[in-house]
Amino acid sequence: MKTPNKKSALSEVHGVDQPEAVSSVVAHQIQQFRRKKPSTEELVTRILNGDKTALSRAITLVESTNPEHLEKANEVIKDCLPHANKSVRIGITGVPGVGKSTFIEAFGKYLTSIGKKVAVLAVDPSSSISHGSILGDKTRMEELVKDENAFIRPSASGDTLGGVARKTRESIILCEACGFDTIIIETVGVGQSETAVHSMVDFFLLLKISGAGDELQGIKRGIMEMADTIVINKADGDNIQKAKLAKTEFNRALHLFPAKSSGWIPKVTTCSAYEQTGIDAVWEIISSYFEMVKANSYFDEKRQSQNQFWMMETINEQLKTRFYNHPEISTLLEENKKAVQNNQLSPFAAAQILLERYFKN
């Protein structure tokens, strides 16, 4: 043992070297990962290893409007794709007030308790306007958010439902590659978002409460027809009897719709997300659905046709965006609109003029 070189009385002799609390190698790696932008390969490797930080980062790339980020996002998705698709995708909708967050918290916790890995995403095109995302306030699912086997991501913002939908679709792929086997997509229950969500999930759950009187709206907007199950929430306390009555009524209403091409007969059930009762029955319904559609090959057919749908949808949206954002067209469009207004041009002739100009360029 050497005598220290320092002259201070406070100097001490060296003892046995203690291991560092944090491995400097690992600390360096984490720092590098956080500070530097990890390479595509690195991101993919980490995602495939179930790293939620890497997953979050990849989703951020998907949601970015920066063309460089988008290019990188496309690479990540391409490499994740062969590892995706091994999950069940469940859409959950319901008008504000039915208790969607409480239900998803209770349902998600139930799923992780039986060994599932649960990712919760959201489609909320309105959040881009109000800047308030439905899942933004994560404290609304405070139990689930702390769960190691759960991943919660607020709704992507975007100018259009199409944009939000694309981001969500690609986030699903990333979550699946990260090992999440149960993907829940929440929608706000207003506007056209249900249709978008319906076209990206395998199973569609409509959350209701008894006596809300919004049945007509649901029928009108085709929501009830899309539902694979109707779950009547808040079946607790004084509400139990009313919820049972509502169950009978919804069962009757569902019979009025034509049979589903899946062969599945939609089921109605009641639950209390607050008291955490009836949640297992919901999962039983969903499980028996997946058993059936995986056996009759409807599961694969539906995913294939959803893929086709999104490919076409993206093309059609882009064709329009390119046309209407063309500087020459947008000027001419205003002129032609006026000419149509003044009965100098029929709408069809005006369209023809615009199209000819566009395709000449």
Our CB check for its own copies shows the closer of 28 and 322 to be: 322
Our CB check for its own copies shows the closer of 48 and 340 to be: 340
Our CB check for its own copies shows the closer of 240 and 254 to be: 254
Our CB check for its own copies shows the closer of 80 and 282 to be: 80
Our CB check for its own copies shows the closer of 34 and 78 to be: 78
Our CB check for its own copies shows the closer of 253 and 292 to be: 253
Our CB check for its own copies shows the closer of 34 and 320 to be: 320
CB atoms inside a 10 Å sphere around CB 284: 12
CB of 220 to its own copies, least distance (A): 6
CB of 314 to its own copies, least distance (A): 4
CB of 75 to its own copies, least distance (A): 10
CB of 62 to its own copies, least distance (A): 10
CB of 219 to its own copies, least distance (A): 6
Name residue, tokens 């169950």.
247
Our CB check for its own copies shows the closer of 274 and 323 to be: 323
What are the residues binding its own copies (CB under 8 A)? 74, 77-78, 81-82, 84-85, 166, 169-170, 173, 216, 219-220, 222, 225, 256, 304, 307-312, 314-316, 318-320, 322-323, 336-337, 340-341, 343-352, 354-355, 359
In a 13 Å sphere around the CA of 283, the CA atoms on its Cβ side amount to: 19
φ/ψ (deg, to 5) at 97: 105, -10
CB of 234 to its own copies, least distance (A): 24
d(CA 255, CA 266): 9
Distances (CA, A) of 37 to 48, 75, 327: 18, 14, 36
CB of 293 to its own copies, least distance (A): 18
Name residue, tokens 């009187």.
213
Name residue, tokens 């391409």.
78
CB of 79 to its own copies, least distance (A): 11
Q: What is the 3-state secondary structure (H, E, C) of the chain?
A: CCCCCCCCCCCCCCCCCCCCCCCHHHHHHHHHHHHCCCCHHHHHHHHHCCCHHHHHHHHHHHHCCCHHHHHHHHHHHHHHHHHCCCCEEEEEECCCCCCHHHHHHHHHHHHHHCCCCEEEEEECCCHHHHCCCCCCCHHHHHHHHHCCCEEECCCCCCCCHHHHHHHHHHHHHHHHHCCCCEEEEEECCCCCHHHHHHCCCCEEEEEEECCCCCHHHHHHCCHHHHCCEEEEECCCHHHHHHHHHHHHHHHHHHHCCCCCCCCCCCEEEECECCCCECHHHHHHHHHHHHHHHHHCCHHHHHHHHHHHHHHHHHHHHHHHHHHHHCHHHHHHHHHHHHHHHCCCCCHHHHHHHHHHHHHHC
Our CB check for its own copies shows the closer of 45 and 85 to be: 85
Our CB check for its own copies shows the closer of 241 and 307 to be: 307
CB of 42 to its own copies, least distance (A): 20
CB of 247 to its own copies, least distance (A): 19
